[in-house]
Amino acid sequence: MTAAPIGVFDSGVGGLSVLREIRRKLPAERLIYFADSGHCPYGGKPQAQIQQRSMVITDELLAAGAKLIVVACNTATIAAVEHLRATYPVPFVGMEPAVKPAVAATRSGVVGVLATGAALGGQKFHHLLQQHARDVRMITQPCPGLVEHVERGDVSSPELRSLLRGYVQPLLDAGADVLVLGCTHYPFLRAAIAEIAGPHVLLLDTGEAVARQTQRVLEREGLLATQGEGGVEWRSSGDVVAVQSVIDRLWSAG
């Protein structure tokens, strides 16, 4: 069972920002990445539909022999991870936006959270804020349109930058000195966001923390691969050739 693959999925290519950290940390693991590009974005979809897609993908990853599944998507984690855990016998590792480290890091007392509308509207996210925000002012900013740019492999066009400025500038004007990248697509926009936010604003994502958590769960369950080459197998519900060319571009940039 230790030689079985880890399944990793996202609505599209965003989860590569998590996959690259898992690959770095656990090079002996075989990884199957599923990009649900035929149904992307999840951000504007109702919870029931995101749950349904998450189950279809989980079924496929389990049929491929997955020993553990990483939900490399904040929106799907918030909408579906509890349901998945209650339904399937394998362990699931989900995303958690970096609210807790942001609260610890802010000096201005204002934090901006960039995420999808569906993620920000989820109960699990509200619970996270209630638990950790304390006396810090958390400003949430849904960012429709960003995911579509990343899905096309666009991380730097003038249109993208102008869309980003509209989302980021109001947070800076409100005094935010930490921005939470609460969607796995957004780490690919880190350079463009940093250009707008400047060097004194901290940008936080949780890809590395999720890779660490994956390792912990594998160790706890006795599932960690300790030898072998590892590698990545790609799958997608979208136009496989188009998705693969974006994956190749983002993967080599990573």
Residues serving a catalytic function are 73, 183
Q: How far is the CB of 18 from ligand DGL (least distance, A)?
A: 9
Q: How far is the CB of 218 from ligand DGL (least distance, A)?
A: 22
Place of tokens 């959270």: 113
Pair of tokens at residue 1: 């069972």
| 70 neighbors 6 (Cβ within 8 angstroms) | yes
**Position 41 contacts ligand DGL (CB under 6 A):** yes
- Identify the residue among 5, 7, 9, 14 touching ligand DGL (CB under 6 A): 14
11 binds ligand DGL (CB under 6 A): yes
Nearer to ligand DGL, 151 or 177 (CB): 151
CA 191 to chain centre: 17
Strand partners, 75: none
Residue closest to ligand DGL when measured from CB atoms? 43
How far out from the chain centre does Cα 59 lie? 20
43 contacts ligand DGL (rule: CB under 6 A): yes
Place of tokens 């697509």: 185
User: Smallest distance, Å, CB 136 to ligand DGL?
Assistant: 22
Distance CA 41, CA 28 (A): 31
Q: Sort 12 into a burial class: Cβ within 10 Å, 0-12 / 13-18 / 19+.
A: buried
Taking CB under 6 A as the rule, does residue 184 contact ligand DGL? yes
Q: Is the dihedral of CA 187, 188, 194, 199 positive or negative?
A: positive
Residues 129-168 touching ligand DGL, rule: CB under 6 A, are: 147
Positions 109 through 128 that interact with ligand DGL (CB under 6 A) = 116, 119
Rounded to a whole number of angstroms, the minimum distance from the CB of residue 201 to ligand DGL is 21
Binding site for ligand DGL (CB under 6 A): 10-11, 14, 40-43, 73-75, 116, 119, 147, 183-185
